[in-house]
Structure 1
Amino acid sequence: MSYSATFFETHSVQAPSIDAEEIAKFSAAGLNVSDYYLPYQNYSVLQNPFRKFPYYSAVNVDGKRFHKLKRDSIFDGSERWAKDERIPEEAQWGNALYSAKNYDFDRGHLAKREYVQWGIDEEAARMAARSTFFYTNAAPQVSKLNRGVWKRIENYILHHEVIKNSMKICLFSGPVFREDDPEFLQKVNDQTVRLPYLFWKVVYYVKDGELYRAGFLTSQRRQMQKKRIIKPVSRSEESVRSTHFNTFKDAETYQVNVSFVEQIGQLSFEAATETFQSDDPERIILSRVNVRNDSNESAQMEEIVTNMNLKL
């Protein structure tokens, strides 16, 4: 089953909707938005055919029916990424991008493999996990972002909250598409590729009968520059760009109001209570407790997540 808005027994959480400006692009191109909303096992994706990356993934996570599977057991042999044949091939980037010269990115899952890894039995979980290996569920992410703080917070929420407490959550993740997104160093299939540098995540959960939500944002712009995989920009362009998000340090994760994600992502989310009430992003600092090198990582992550107002 694909993403379900009625996953919670007591509350409905619809997938985000894109704004009128984005919808107008579909109409102008003679396309229907609904044709690019793609159902998979335990999640769905809305593909952006103009940028060829997903607007977002929408995931149901059921900790009670989670099955632990090793990554190499998902396929018989090596991982197999594929384009989705339900939409035009030219509406999605594929291996030509991710294997291009000078490319130094991970295929960053938007719907994390483990998040969909649940079902009535292990085979159902395996099929769901396998379905995350479509290019429509991927966006280029530098390793420091994809495997760093972003991933550790994801893992903590999944393993120490959702699975441990047999909980359910609804999780949305996606890139921010901006006019000033930098260009990849080379063309792919004779086309210019503009790479998103901001990524967001919104989680919904039910606590004491009330629906809550929390938003997060992270950036990889300077990491892309450091790795020299995007075209250099002039000082004037860099000055203009930095004024927008100069408070965001690269590869760090910030808690933000969901309204902020709505604003920069041109999206609308289901209303819910938010315990984080600040107009200013709040940096989630893991380095202060040396999480990576300390054997007490679980306890420290629990303290951090509690301080983030995300104790589920």
Structure 2
Amino acid sequence: MGYSDTFLGNTAIHPPVIAQNELDKFKTNGLEASQYMLDYSNYSVFQNPFRKFPYFTIANIDGELFKHVTRKELFSGKGDKWSKDSRIPKEHQLGRELYTAERSDFDKGHLTKREDVQWGAEDDEAISAAESTFFFTNAVPQVDRLNRGIWRRIEDYILHHEVVKNSLKISLFTGPILQENDPDFVTPVKDEVIKLPYMFWKVIYYLKNGELHRTGFLTSQKRKLEERRIVRPVMRGDDEEDLFMNFKDAETYQVRVDFIEKIANLKFAEANELFQDDTPEELIFSNVDVRNEAIQDITQIDLKLIL
């Protein structure tokens, strides 16, 4: 079973709504958008067939039913088995041809984290759910400093220190920010130029004192993509707004969900927010890029999530 919008109770938390111009692309190309909402175990993916990456993933996480399963226990001990999803055309998703291409100095970054959906009444349910995260539809290229760094530490903090420790339920949405002016990967894939996203977001829904709350996070890999020459420099006109021009040394920051809505061109379900920072956008952007220094300990981060 995929994502359930009533997982947290009677108040339905619907998937994010993408912009109308994106929905129009499906009709223009003779496609049905509903066929690209793919259900997996405890989560779902809305695949973007035009960029060949997900618009977003949406997951239900049950801390009380979480099962401790190591990565080595998956796929009968034979290791990771990434594959394309046969329910949609192979040409609408990127697989090994991208991640083994020349200059592909990045990871297959899970959007829905393996452990997040690793729950169920029985161990085999949790194992099956964990294995279902190894579809390329659930992956976007992420440099190691992001995928294995502070972004992962925030994911681990939310899952283990909040959800599992306190036997909570949450619904977690994750996605890349896909923009027309994203940079080109330096290596064509099957003679096609692939644009790689700079930024990623998370929106978490949870109950606090019986009321629905949400909070958002934003991070970037712009600096590392450019430093490693994985992407070609983006050339913009003098009058074109550059959302990334003020990026400095930073990692991952908590932001208001309406800020994510604006830059990702999505609409999320309404809920209360404890985080009310009104920092100007340019200062938020200057504090979301992956930095070179040693990663700070997660306990130093002031998360206004469920604390």
TM-score by length of 1: 0.90
Matches within 5 A, 1:1-312: 1-76=1-76, 77-234=78-235, 237=236, 243-249=242-248, 252-280=251-279, 281=284, 283=287, 301=299, 304=301, 307-312=302-307
Further displaced range: 277-286 or 206-215: 277-286
Further displaced range: 8-17 or 34-43: 8-17
Q: Secondary structure at the match of 1:64?
A: coil
TM-score by length of 2: 0.91
Q: Secondary structure at the match of 2:162?
A: helix
Q: Secondary structure at the match of 2:275?
A: coil
Distance 1:6 1:250 in 2: 39
Q: Secondary structure at the match of 1:75?
A: helix
Distance 1:2 1:144 in 2: 30
The number of aligned residues is 299
CA displacement, residues 76-121 of structure 1 (integer Å, 9 cap, x when unaligned): 3121100000001110001000011111000000000000000011
Q: Secondary structure at the match of 2:242?
A: helix
Equivalent AA in structure 2 for residue 112 of structure 1? K
Distance 1:251 1:87 in 2: 38
Distance 1:187 1:59 in 2: 32
Structure 2: 5+ residue stretches without partners:
none
CA displacement, residues 140-164 of structure 1 (integer Å, 9 cap, x when unaligned): 0000011111110110110011000
CA displacement, residues 152-194 of structure 1 (integer Å, 9 cap, x when unaligned): 0110110011000000000000001111101011110111100
Deviation at 1:198, TM superposition (A): 0.8
CA displacement, residues 50-76 of structure 1 (integer Å, 9 cap, x when unaligned): 000000000000000000111111123
**Identity fraction in percent:** 51
Q: Which has the larger helix fraction?
A: 1
